[in-house]
Structure 1
Amino acid sequence: MKSELADTQQNQLKMAAAVLSLEWFKNNMSKGNCDISKRVGFTAGVSSSNTRWSSGKLVFNKVLHNKGAGYDSSSGVFTAPSAGVYVFYVSITSYSDNEINVDITLNGYSQVTARDKGGSGRINYSYSYSYQTGTNMATLSLKRRDRVWVQYTAGTGYSSKSVPTTTFSGFLI
């Protein structure tokens, strides 16, 4: 009987802790601390290769996710719908043995660079090309309407497929 009473008390404590956790979550939701409707995040990719790309913004035309509608797939620019701290990530795959360099750019100013140099080597009397990937990430404090994009800085061409290998992502933390 003592053992059953101890088990019952233990279960009551667990239930009380669960109820408190749910109350805390409900209170934070109502204060906007966990408001899913205010979330912002996107991932976009390039759906094909371009062997000659060598200037301007890289436009990621295949949008995989765009919560908050901040990314514009026609211009390649993310516009912050609200102020906050955002994380941005770029992954660029060089075409064949070419080199490609891109920057994550905030309002026209480079923040970080992703560099990649494909490689080639002789295998069995023929050349084999290695499609390499360069990546970088930046955490940036943005004001509402600040603009972020991926900008060409050097090299030629990028590689991608219908399931993108060259991508650009960002989200509000």
Structure 2
Amino acid sequence: MKMMMKRMATGWLVLLGYMCLAQEEEVLGSVVNIYTELKELRSLVGELSTKLHTAEADLKEQRAMVDKLNKEREEQPKVAFSAALLSSESKHHGPIDAETNLIFGKVLTNFGSAYNPITGVFTAPVRGVYYFRFSGNGFAGHDMGLSIFKDGQRMMSVYEYQSSGEQNDHASNGVTLQLEKGEVVYMRLWINTWIFIDGRYDYCSFSGFLLFPM
């Protein structure tokens, strides 16, 4: 009887040992799995951190580029003007036996002060590409011819043959010019032609603005 009980006790001890060993292996397996997952998480965090630093660097570069563009835009000269022939009454100017400069003395806008209403001359403040537009009103009974000049060179013109009766005709044109700093642009009335100056509606005008510097 004692021998049987001793064997039974020994069996229980062996079984308990196996159970403990199994539990220990299970715990060790769980620990190993947790460690593996932790390594994977660390690797993922490292990748995300690298991507975050890259995104931050890109954002910093883009912000610097935007700041540079804003600074360039603020520093870019602002040049634009519009002017009309000045008169207190409606009358015609000409005809004259020599080609003469037209002075548009009624200034509507003159950003950058590049246009001189005393001489009728526009002087380019910076090297760049500019756009100019001009118009004239021809009174019945005589021809009207207008040209825009760049440093003494005729660039673009309009011509209106004398109208019959009491009709007035209107003509306009425009041109894009590349100018060096200091080059001048102005308008001239052709020889033996006239232009009608309206003291109220400003039919005859000269305008220009800087498209972009170079």
Please, which of 145, 150, 158 is the counterpart of residue 106 of structure 1?
150
2:81 is aligned to 42
Aligned residues: 142
- Distance (Å, rounded) in 1 between the aligned partners of 2:82 and 2:105: 10
* Structure 1 gaps, min length 5: 1-22, 122-128
Q: How does 1:29-108 map to 2 (within 5 A)?
A: 29-30=70-71, 32=72, 34-35=73-74, 38-48=77-87, 49-54=91-96, 55-108=99-152
Per-residue deviation at 1:50? 2.7
Q: 1 or 2, which has the higher helix percentage?
A: 2
Per-residue deviation at 1:28? 2.1
Per-residue deviation at 1:116? 1.7
Contact 1:118 1:130 in 2 (8 A): no
1:137 is aligned to 174
- Distance (Å, rounded) in 2 between the aligned partners of 1:75 and 1:26: 40
1:160 is aligned to 197
Q: Summarize deviations over 1:16-55 as a string: whole Å, max 9, x none.
A: xxxxxxx78655222x1x3376110110101333342433
- Distance (Å, rounded) in 2 between the aligned partners of 1:91 and 1:25: 40
Q: Looking at both structures, which has the greater relative contact order when contacts are Cα pairs under 8 Å and sequence separation is at least 6? A: 1
Contact 1:102 1:154 in 2 (8 A): no
Report the TM-score, using the length of structure 2 for normalisation.
0.61
1:148 aligns to 2:207 (yes or no):
no
- Distance (Å, rounded) in 1 between the aligned partners of 2:95 and 2:202: 17
Contact 2:94 2:192 in 1 (8 A): no
Per-residue deviation at 1:139? 0.4
**Cα distance change on mapping 1:85 and 1:153 into 2, 3 Å:** same
**Cα distance change on mapping 1:112 and 1:26 into 2, 3 Å:** same
- Distance (Å, rounded) in 1 between the aligned partners of 2:192 and 2:138: 9
CA RMSD of aligned residues (A): 2.0
- Distance (Å, rounded) in 2 between the aligned partners of 1:97 and 1:27: 58
Q: Summarize deviations over 1:112-137 as a string: whole Å, max 9, x none.
A: 1111234124xxxxxxx111111111
Per-residue deviation at 1:160? 2.5
